[in-house]
Structure 1
Amino acid sequence: MAITPPSVTRSPALTADLEAALAAQGPDYAPRTHLLEPDGKPRYVNRLIREASPYLLQHAHNPVDWHPWGEEAMAAAAGRDCPIFLSVGYATCHWCHVMEEESFDDEEIAAVLNARFVPVKLDREARPDLDQIYITATQLQQGHAGWPNSLWLMPDGTPFHTGTYFPKHQFLQVLAAVADAWDRQRPQIVEVAGRIAEAVRRQGALGGSGAAALEPETFDAAAAHLARMHNRAHGGFSDNQQFPQESFLLFLLDRWRREGDAEALGIARKTLDAIAAGGIHDHAGGGFHRYTVDINWRTPHFEKMLYNQGQLARAFTEGWEATGEPAWRRAAERCFAYVLRDMTDGAGAFFAAEDADSLDAAGRREEGAFYLWPAAEARELLGAEGDWAAATLGLGKPVGEVGPVAHLEPGAAVDFARLDPLLERLRAAREARHRPIRDEKVIAGWNGLMIRALAEAAVAFDRRDLAEAAARAAEAVWSRLWDGTRLARLWAGGAAREAGQLEDHVWMGLACLALAEADAFLAVPGPWAERAEALGATILRDFSDGAGRLRMAAEDGPLGPIYESSDGATPAGESAALELLARLGARGDMAAGAAAQRLVSAVSGPMREIPVLRTEALIGARVLAAGPSVLRRTLAGGTVAARLLRGGAAWELELAIAPGWHVNAPDPGTEGLTGAAIEGAGAAWPEPLSRSLGFAGAPLNVYEGRVRVPLSAPSDSIVLHLQPCSDTLCREPVAARFRLGARETER
């Protein structure tokens, strides 16, 4: 029977409701608490038992009388005239688990929280808009921020005191001090809350300069800043903990393709080599951990987030296209194998994350227990190959305090043909261990990041199976979360939940455009372009603020409209929207193209001041001004798709010409038309078709459908010239430059 938490009085109706919600969890339900009755049932149940978020359910049996975020909690705080204590985290957050076990599952702490505050739990992944408000408040007040994010709020949601993780003894002191100040120093608290609220509003609403475009100096400044940040010894952009910083890598690769900037490519190369080799890479199972706690990428913080998989897979794909480095293609493909094997639901959509913590052999929850490989255990499993594998993977040298993490030496020659079957044996054996908790939310935007990565890699690697997986995931997301006018944020507990955010619509829109390009080459049919256009229309209707900027959420938060001020672990939705709107504009969506121009103007001021804060927006600005730079592109308003295929040192151009259109052959046979040509490489164009078109007055030599053109002796960059025509009109001639410069052997 559900027991009321300490210092709480409940109505019989609420008690009955919570008991029914507990019973509905089913006979296999395992409450996450050490406070259990002799029969194994939880001693306490709170309102979070009615929620679908895995993070909130983790706290459903704390003695803390948690409320989910919402009007009910605010009304309770106003009615009791007490502050809200807000704890923000997510299901796979290690330090959230630590504070849960030390404090939130502690009856002494709970008694104070319940008596003096209205405790509220918020899943940051379900509500990134609210998380943006409160992580910004903590950053501004404390000078640093992270999760768990701990805040004390006025009943209307305005923060007045902030912090992150607190050990139990310190947390008790802070709770007592805040409660005392609420009673004795209310005017000062109101004043502090007002100052924080105003600072948060200013942080998000940074204005622009009104300029219609960014000067080259802005992009140069961003590249120079990243060069100064670059750790030349170990790669990455830090002298301490190492995060992948995927948006930095994608910006540097884009800059190399556009400018031939060798330093930009060198920084990306050093960093991708380090990530592919380091302990941040799960060598046994594929995929990547979120970050490392050391400078040389070897000691990971073991949680695995879907958004890292999608972004890093894209970076490795683009890096492989630039260099032909086989270890990078291998890293991307093993990441896809991990996601499709371990992070995919029955309908094909992708789960959100896997925890850092898992149970060790003794049943204790430890960070990384699932992933560690003591050398003796690996040798016993691998037999005659055990010594070589253990030495190759560095298992004889425990990494930091966590133990033996598999890693390679960056840049070292590795016999992957010999190593990979051994890694598969380690992975299969690892399945007998206790797996980390998997957060099975399906988040629309994070799925968009992964779908885009799969679709783009499918075209780059010429792998239709990856495109099919991307299309299946997109259909699963669309059927569950699109209501005809807007996306929901996520799927959990068998239902769509929370309003979709800007980032959900943007990242799914870019995923749909990637699928449209994949369909042109690999036949994964679907209304991909139409869906991208629908998402673009939703963005302009629901997220535009009327002044050129895009809000994170369609609805205002407690402090007013919510904006992002920079890219973070994922690109800001507003930053990525610039690329989506620019690409939709190039396909003929005039409203999207105009909105992209307004957005550049609205954010250009801050981008000039500190351009490295918005590297994703810098990529979008270049797309708006000059089109994409990647080796896979849609040209001439969607009438032609082009890709450059790398096969070792050989290259091949492929065109996919839309039905009803043709491309004029090198010698069209009629003056005034531009024939297909390639500058900078020999081109073995196939025999064209000869067609009679009324407007031309004579037979024309043309290409239709799919055309493959082997290239010989390509230079660092080539320029493709073509002119697409229908039976009644011709579009303007196209000249598209592709940079191929970095050779497979250049390091």
Structure 2
Amino acid sequence: MPKARSLFAPLLLLCFALTCTAEIPWLDSVDAGQAAAAKRDLPLYIAVSDPLNELDGAMHRQTFANAEVAAFLQANFVCVLVNRDAAPGLAAYGQQWLAADQKIAGWPLNLWFTPELQPIEGASYLPPTEEWGREGFMVVAGRVAERWTADAGAVRRGAENTQRLIADYLPFAAEPVDDLADALRLAAEDWIAIAQPETGTFGDAPHRLEPELIRFLIARGGETRAVALAALRTRLTSALRDPLDGGFYRATADGAGGIPVFQKRLTDQARIALACLDAAAVDDDPLFAAGARSALQYVINRLSPSDGTFYIGDDATESSATAGQTWSWTELVDLVGEDFAAQLGAKPDGNVNADEDLEGLHAGRNILRASPLALPARATFESRSKLISARAARAQTVVKTIATAGAHGLMLHAMQRAGDELQDLDFGAYAIAIQATLKRDFGVGTEFFSRIARTEIAPTPEDYVLVALGMNDAALAARADQLFFDDEFALYYATADEVLGTRPVWWQPTSGDLPAPSVWRLLLDHAPAGLAAEVAAPFDNPDVPPPGAVLLALQHTLTE
């Protein structure tokens, strides 16, 4: 019997044979998308975007910018593009969909729905073509379009089953930890065992900031604390920190901890500042206070539009922008002279280890590095300004998206601690300004509390808990419990109401995400009963030490 031939294939081939000039006609809301889909009787394609996710950027450059792909999407779907922070309910629904369907979680999200908003097919990042066993974008989009064209009724019936699968999903309950104190001791030992003193990192590359892990190890005291302080010292003087503007990169990509992932996130600056403040509280090395100042001054100088709000970060991970973050010796000498170039760790032939530069992006060039104590801000202001201006002329990297209420709450917490513990009036003044902004632009303390400034987007448990942390407001924390916490399952829902017929739970954090709201809630007083036991779920995996944020939160429960 001959193999059945797809009726859809000729359409797909025709689309790619044409020289198309189409652009994707994105709609910016699900409501608008549903109305258009119902009118045209077409499926919806919803892309849930994360502006600081490299894979999200790759999809826009490699897939959405392709004219043939754009023409295909325009012909076969109603397309909606939303930011994950501006559509937190849909984002949580999508992550629950992937978890229930046992697919790879993460960002961005690619979601296909019927015109009635029933789920057809979902995925996280999709490459332009098949890659490492992952289907290409057009394979998935083509399959959805073909199925819809062949039998829309069957697709709708299948979507009803998928909806039930998503609605019924719950994460596996954690096994109880019999002796939490002993479990934390063993976890600390596991992390110490994979510490790499020469680089200040833990485990294999890429090496993320790990601020909560450092804080947990500091809290343990003794030799464990000594290892944490030594690791933090090394990282503060490494290429993880940008010596020009003082900000900290999200991670280093190589085994030696010398090649940054050229992205700085607002929330990471608050987290590393808190780790430095914890270190400064137990050790008189001035490097730790300088590290905290460096992160927070970067936020003030670089990520503030001067109205009390903050942008989400600086992103130079796209290849052309990454090239603009490194320097030849000649470029540096022409701008600031040999002495200052040498102070920044630069060398005439470049300072990047070719064995670690696997993609060959930095051959013969220099990645700058210096201790925050080595280049006093005032004394080196002119030279640093020249380099900052030259770098900015190559690429504008600030992502001018205003951060969430929760991110502002976390930064408020860091600024307040820095103002008090470093006796710095400037940080104290900024803390007051952030608090005023949260009330004025986010409606904190009123019925109009919002996740995004000057909008009606409902806050999530993350927003409530982090703002409660920043404002030291027990009532806000209790309100989060009232609105989002499920006493039976000891978990937080992502929304106060249903989304597409489901009330999604908060997702398991993926790379680049903040720790879950449950972790931050345990750092506040009077956390709900049963929450600590559920947060301890990572202890169920004997092969991987629990995340530092989980350990820090559980350590706090022992010292309340």
Instruction: Return the TM-score normalized by structure 2.
Output: 0.80
Question: 1:388 and 1:90 mapped to 2: Cα distance?
Answer: 38
Look up the match of 1:577. 521
Superposition map of 1:496-511 within 5 A = 496-511=455-470
- Pair 1:78–1:566, CA change in 2 (3 A): same
> Is residue 280 from structure 1 mapped to residue 259 from structure 2 by the alignment?
no
Look up the match of 2:423. 462
Question: 2:128 and 2:306 mapped to 1: Cα distance?
Answer: 40
**Residue identity matched to 1:380:** D
1:408: how far off?
4.2
Look up the match of 1:351. 311
Cα contact 1:355–1:437 (8 A) shared by 2: yes
**Residue identity matched to 1:385:** D
> Is residue 379 from structure 1 mapped to residue 333 from structure 2 by the alignment?
yes
Question: 2:62 and 2:508 mapped to 1: Cα distance?
Answer: 33
Deviations 1:221-279 (A, max 9, x none): 432443455456534344232221333222222233xxx3x23541x335423432332
**Residue identity matched to 1:540:** D
Structure 2: tracts of 5 or more residues without a match: 1-10, 12-19, 131-135
Question: 1:293 and 1:192 mapped to 2: Cα distance?
Answer: 40
1:572: how far off?
0.7
Cα contact 1:488–1:499 (8 A) shared by 2: yes
Secondary structure of the 2:441 match is helix
Look up the match of 2:209. 244
Question: 2:502 and 2:288 mapped to 1: Cα distance?
Answer: 44
- Pair 1:137–1:297, CA change in 2 (3 A): farther
- Pair 1:163–1:418, CA change in 2 (3 A): closer
**Residue identity matched to 1:109:** V
Compare 286-295 and 142-151 and name the one that shifted more: 142-151
Question: 2:166 and 2:243 mapped to 1: Cα distance?
Answer: 44
Structure 1: tracts of 5 or more residues without a match: 1-6, 8-42, 45-61, 359-364, 514-531, 583-592, 628-747
Deviations 1:41-70 (A, max 9, x none): xx99xxxxxxxxxxxxxxxxx821222342
- Pair 1:229–1:497, CA change in 2 (3 A): farther
Secondary structure of the 1:564 match is coil
Look up the match of 2:388. 430
- Pair 1:96–1:544, CA change in 2 (3 A): closer
Bigger Rg, which one: 1
Deviations 1:460-509 (A, max 9, x none): 22222212211211111221112613520012xxx334111111111111
1:371: how far off?
2.6
Cα contact 1:236–1:242 (8 A) shared by 2: yes
> Is residue 342 from structure 1 mapped to residue 275 from structure 2 by the alignment?
no
Structure that is richer in strand per residue: 1
Look up the match of 2:7. none
Look up the match of 2:537. 606
Question: 1:134 and 1:605 mapped to 2: Cα distance?
Answer: 24
Secondary structure of the 2:523 match is helix
Secondary structure of the 2:112 match is strand
Cα contact 1:94–1:367 (8 A) shared by 2: no
Secondary structure of the 2:486 match is coil
Which of 554, 558, 572 matches 2:500? Answer: 558
Question: 1:121 and 1:143 mapped to 2: Cα distance?
Answer: 21
- Pair 1:136–1:291, CA change in 2 (3 A): farther
Ranked by relative contact order (alpha carbons within 8 Å, sequence separation 6 or more), the top structure is: 2
Compare 134-143 and 432-441 and name the one that shifted more: 134-143
Question: 1:210 and 1:116 mapped to 2: Cα distance?
Answer: 49
Superposition map of 1:424-573 within 5 A = 425-432=383-390, 433=393, 434-482=395-443, 484-485=446-447, 487-491=449-453, 495-513=454-472, 532-547=473-488, 548-558=490-500, 560-564=502-506, 566-567=508-509, 569-573=513-517
Question: 1:227 and 1:188 mapped to 2: Cα distance?
Answer: 52
Cα contact 1:91–1:439 (8 A) shared by 2: no
Look up the match of 1:65. 25
Which of 113, 121, 133 matches 1:160? Answer: 121
Cα contact 1:317–1:328 (8 A) shared by 2: yes
Question: 1:393 and 1:308 mapped to 2: Cα distance?
Answer: 29
1:624: how far off?
4.0
Question: 1:302 and 1:282 mapped to 2: Cα distance?
Answer: 9
1:614: how far off?
6.1
- Pair 1:66–1:472, CA change in 2 (3 A): same
Cα contact 1:375–1:390 (8 A) shared by 2: no
Which of 62, 75, 96 matches 1:102? Answer: 62
Secondary structure of the 1:352 match is strand
Look up the match of 1:396. 350
- Pair 1:207–1:97, CA change in 2 (3 A): closer
- Pair 1:398–1:177, CA change in 2 (3 A): same
- Pair 1:285–1:462, CA change in 2 (3 A): same
> Is residue 623 from structure 1 mapped to residue 529 from structure 2 by the alignment?
no
Cα contact 2:213–2:552 (8 A) shared by 1: no
Look up the match of 1:723. none
Superposition map of 1:695-710 within 5 A = none
Deviations 1:569-592 (A, max 9, x none): 312112211222x1xxxxxxxxxx
Secondary structure of the 1:558 match is coil
Look up the match of 1:331. 291
Instruction: Return the TM-score normalized by structure 1.
Output: 0.62
- Pair 1:237–1:566, CA change in 2 (3 A): farther
Question: 1:481 and 1:300 mapped to 2: Cα distance?
Answer: 33
Deviations 1:349-388 (A, max 9, x none): 2222222268xxxxxx812244322221111222252453
Cα contact 1:481–1:487 (8 A) shared by 2: yes
Compare 556-565 and 119-128 and name the one that shifted more: 556-565
Question: 1:387 and 1:65 mapped to 2: Cα distance?
Answer: 48
Question: 1:616 and 1:510 mapped to 2: Cα distance?
Answer: 15
**Residue identity matched to 1:543:** F
Look up the match of 1:416. 374
Secondary structure of the 2:451 match is strand
Query: RMSD across aligned C-alpha pairs, in angstroms?
Result: 3.6
Look up the match of 1:202. 169
Aligned length: 519
Cα contact 1:506–1:573 (8 A) shared by 2: yes
Cα contact 1:64–1:104 (8 A) shared by 2: yes
Cα contact 1:255–1:264 (8 A) shared by 2: yes
Compare 496-505 and 217-226 and name the one that shifted more: 217-226
